[in-house]
Amino acid sequence: MQDFKLSEHDENVSVSFIRDTETLSRLCSEWLSKEAIAVDTEFDRTNTYFHNLALIQINDGQQIWFIDPLELKDVSPLKSVFESETLVKIFHSCGEDLEALFNKYHFKFNQIFDTQIAAAFADMGPSLGYLRLVELISGVSLDKEHTKTDWMQRPLQQEQLIYAAQDVQFLLPSYYMLRDKMLELGTFEYVIQDVDSMFEAVSAPENYDSYYLRMKGIFRLDAKQTNRLKHVASWREQLARLKNIPKTFIFRDPQLLEICQTPNPKMSDLLAAGCHRASIRRYGAELLATITQADLVNPELWPEPVKAFHKIPKAKELSRQLKALANQVADKNDIPQEVLTNKRLIEYYIMRNMKLDVRPNRFWNDWRKTLLSEAFEAVQF
Ligand SMILES: [Zn+2]
């Protein structure tokens, strides 16, 4: 693969591949003395559970660097870069990038500045796309999304490399503008914290027994069925990881829910629930055995059936009160209301206060606790 000049949009930036660990190590030491670098990754996870990392792009302000993880196996010098508490690493919508890097290299991350999160704080709208961000901040119109190309093929096409370079090229100017805005609003640290709590959720040790709580419609299940679902959700999650295939390649959520509600499920019930024939052939017997096993569990150890949020006494009234208080706090602190809280966070807060089973919510982190706890104490549970 050739190095090239990125002469798009009147900037002439060099793009080079880092081909050996010594060069990477030297560059990492240089980067550690900088304020910020921009990072993006390309990956593929069409037919796998885990991301297949295909490219790491870094813009250090002088030039753009590519690392091909299929070619350069030892990228250990990057560890200190991602862990550094002084060097800011700029990403746009970093969730999957961090997950991909964490699963492959087990890096820890500090000082990650996500321009999508910052843009939301700056009132540029929630979930702002990179192309729109670049348009708004740099006035440059980039070509449309390129995520559908095959990032695992080699050699990568020149067009892919240009896209990949552009993904970090405009991150630095976006950062400087958003950084100044965040410092002015006093929210720079909040942006960093929101990524920290996102990464905590990604890197937390897996609790397979809580996966059933993510499924939609679980409140329709009684205690026995909920216990079954807890077991089959845990089984499917572990199987998907072991085989490195998407969970949907095994069975889909609504199918599992239906089977758990069937009194004595048999193979024919799997077909009736809409399961794929190939899935039934490969995993049907194991699913039914998991249910049989679950039914042997002492009923005293079954989980509580999950309550539908709207059926919780006073839920609607409490939500309304909390939301109103949160909005006052948001306005007073110059934070867009939808950035401070969302429906899920309010529900989480209520369920937690009522000691109901609820999955941790990453938005309930330090800065939100500090701003909201006192205001929320006014609400009577
Ligand atoms: Zn990209």
Residue-level pLDDT, tens digit, the chain, 381 residues: 567 777 655 567 899 999 999 999 999 999 999 999 999 999 999 999 999 999 999 999 999 999 999 999 999 999 999 999 999 999 999 999 999 999 999 999 999 999 999 999 999 999 999 999 999 999 988 877 666 789 999 999 988 999 999 999 999 999 999 999 999 999 999 999 999 999 998 898 889 999 999 999 999 999 999 999 999 999 999 999 999 999 999 999 999 999 999 999 999 999 999 999 999 999 999 999 999 999 999 999 999 998 888 888 899 999 999 999 999 999 999 999 999 999 999 999 999 999 888 888 999 999 999 999 999 998 988
Q: What angle do CA 57, 241, 149 make, to 5 degrees?
A: 35
Distance from C-alpha of 117 to C-alpha of 200, rounded to nearest angstrom: 16
Residues forming a β-bridge with 40: 57
Roughly what angle, to the nearest 10 degrees, separates helices 253-260 and 277-295? 40
Distance from the alpha carbon of residue 166 to the mean position of ligand 1, in angstroms: 8
The Cα 301–Cα 331 span in angstroms is 46
Ligand 1 geometric centre to CA of 356 (Å): 40
Which pair of tokens denotes residue 96? 């999957």
What is the CA(133)–ligand 1 centre distance, in A?
14
Q: Does 4-203 match 309-376 in CATH topology?
A: no
Q: Measured in angstroms, how far is the CA atom of residue 167 from the centroid of ligand 1?
A: 5
> Are 374 and 317 in contact, with CB atoms under 8 Å apart?
no
Alpha-carbon distance 155 to 151, whole Å? 10
How many A from CA of 348 to the centre of ligand 1?
33
d(CA 42, ligand 1 centre) in Å: 5
CA 241 to ligand 1 centroid distance, Å: 25
CA R_g for the chain = 24
Query: What is the spatial distance between Cα 11 and Cα 6, in angstroms, rounded to a whole number?
Result: 7
Distance 102 CA to ligand 1 centre (A): 17
pLDDT value of residue 148: 75
Q: 4-203 adopts what CATH topology?
A: Nucleotidyltransferase; domain 5 (3.30.420)
Amino acid letter, 368: R
pLDDT of residue 7: 66
Centre of ligand 1 to C-alpha 57, Å, is 8
Residue 245 CA, ligand 1 centroid: distance in Å: 23
Q: Outline where the chain has alpha helix (H).
A: 21-32, 78-83, 95-105, 115-121, 130-138, 158-169, 171-185, 188-203, 223-243, 253-260, 267-272, 277-295, 315-332, 337-340, 343-353, 366-376
> In angstroms, what is the span from residue 296 Cα to ligand 1's centroid?
49
- Give me 357's structure tokens: 């089973």
Cα 43 to averaged position of ligand 1 atoms, centre (Å): 9
Q: Which residues lie across from 112 on neighbouring strands?
A: 89
Q: Which of 366, 362, 15 is nearest to 198 (CA)?
A: 362
Place of tokens 């050739």: 2
| Residue ranges of domains in the chain | 4-203, 208-301, 309-376
Q: Which of 93, 181, 183 is nearest to 131 (CA)?
A: 93
Q: From ligand 1's centre to the CA of 130, what distance in Å?
A: 9
Q: From the CA of 164, how far away is ligand 1's center (Å)?
A: 5
Q: How many Å lie between the centroid of ligand 1 and the Cα of residue 40?
A: 6
Residue 147: the pLDDT is 62
Spacing, Cα 41 to ligand 1 middle (Å): 6
- CA 248, 254, 260, 264 torsion-angle sign: negative
Nearest to 185 by CA among 330, 38, 326: 330
| C-alpha of residue 56 to centroid of ligand 1, in Å | 9
Could you tell me the distance, in angstroms and rounded to a whole number, from the CA of residue 30 to the centre of ligand 1?
A: 24
CATH architecture of 309-376: Orthogonal Bundle (1.10)
Write the CA distances from 62 to 95, 140, 144, integer angstroms: 26, 20, 26
Matching CATH number, 208-301, of 3.10.129.10, 3.90.550.10, 2.60.120.10, 1.10.150.80: 1.10.150.80
Spatial CB neighbours of 62, under 8 Å, sequence gap ≥ 6: none
The confidence score (pLDDT) of residue 2 equals 62
Termini Cα distance of the chain: 63
Distance 342 CA to ligand 1 centre (A): 28
